[in-house]
Amino acid sequence: MTKKRKKSTRITHANSAPSAVPAQAHPRHVLILLALLTVQCLLLIWALAHHFIPSAAWQSAGFYCNLLISTMVTGAFYYLIWRQRKAYLSRYKQLFLIVCSPILLYFLGYFSLIYGAGDVYTQLTGMPAIIEDRWQKNSGDAVRFEQEYIAAGVYEKRYFDNRKGCITRLSSPMLARGFPVYFCVAGRTFASLPPEIPVTLHGLQSQAGFELQHVDYQR
């Protein structure tokens, strides 16, 4: 006598969730690239907040180092574009990134390395120093300031101390090597200064350059 086997029935729940697929971790080269770009952006912000004049040796060494770093970063960036060419990017976006990314990465690396890293190095290792220089008023700024503000009896505007909108600039060949390429002063100071004035620069000096901290006008 044969026993009948009972058919085993499996009950499938309609609301049973499928097994979650673990997310893939980012490749190591992607994380390294993101970390490098983050450091460069932070150094660029640092450079914008300080006034640094690099030495000729630091500027020359930084140029070649940045050229090497930019080439490596651009190559890694091109590799990522090639890996994701079908999933995320259209042909026009790929063409735009291929053409513009080397330029953007080069200038980002240039300013962050020469001015940002140079100023950080000077802050850490520099010694107090004093430099004598002669500054001149920007001729266009002097005319505009006299016509628009002195004639109206107005000397102070909030954007006088803003580098982007500054119209009270002092310049010299030494400042032209730094970033920014001029020194912005307050409106009353600009109005009281002659067209050319000797100055004493106080700051920190290192092998990378000079970090300007304070200026004395020799009137």
**pLDDT (tens digit per residue) in 60-85:** 998 999 888 888 888 877 777 676 65
Going by the DSSP 8-state scheme, the letter that residue 185 receives in this structure is -
- As a whole number of angstroms, the distance between CA 2 and CA 4 comes to 6
Q: Say what angle helices 91-110 and 28-48 make with each other, to 10 degrees.
A: 50
Q: Write the burial class of residue 113 (CB in 10 Å: 0-12 exposed, 13-18 middle, 19+ buried).
A: buried
Helices (H), the chain: 28-48, 56-83, 91-110, 118-125, 139-145, 187-192
* Mean pLDDT on 87-98: 66
Average predicted confidence (pLDDT) for the chain: 77
Residues 6+ apart with CB under 8 A from 34: none
Long-range contacts of 34-38 (CB under 8 A, 24+ apart): 36/69, 36/73, 37/73, 37/108
Residue 141: per-residue pLDDT: 73
Q: Are 202 and 216 in contact (CB under 8 A)?
A: yes
Residue 153: per-residue pLDDT: 57
The helix (H) or strand (E) run that includes residue 213 is strand 209-217
Residue 120: per-residue pLDDT: 94
- As a whole number of angstroms, the distance between CA 158 and CA 22 comes to 54
Paired tokens of 83:
């890996």
Task: Determine what percent of the chain is predicted with pLDDT higher than 70.
Answer: 70
Backbone phi, then psi, for 141, in 5-degree steps?
-65, -40
Closest CA to 195 of 175, 156, 169: 169
Long-range contacts of 30-36 (CB under 8 A, 24+ apart): 30/80, 32/76, 33/73, 33/76, 33/77, 33/80, 36/69, 36/73
Model pTM greater than 0.85? Answer: no
Task: Determine what percent of the chain is predicted with pLDDT higher than 90.
Answer: 27
* Whole-Å CA distances, 126 to 97, 133, 169, 171, 193: 39, 20, 27, 24, 31
Whose structure tokens read 């042909």?
Answer: 91
Q: Are 66 and 109 in contact (CB under 8 A)?
A: yes
Per residue in 4-21, is it b (16+ CB within 10 Å) or e — as a string?
A: eeeeeeeeeeeeeeeeee
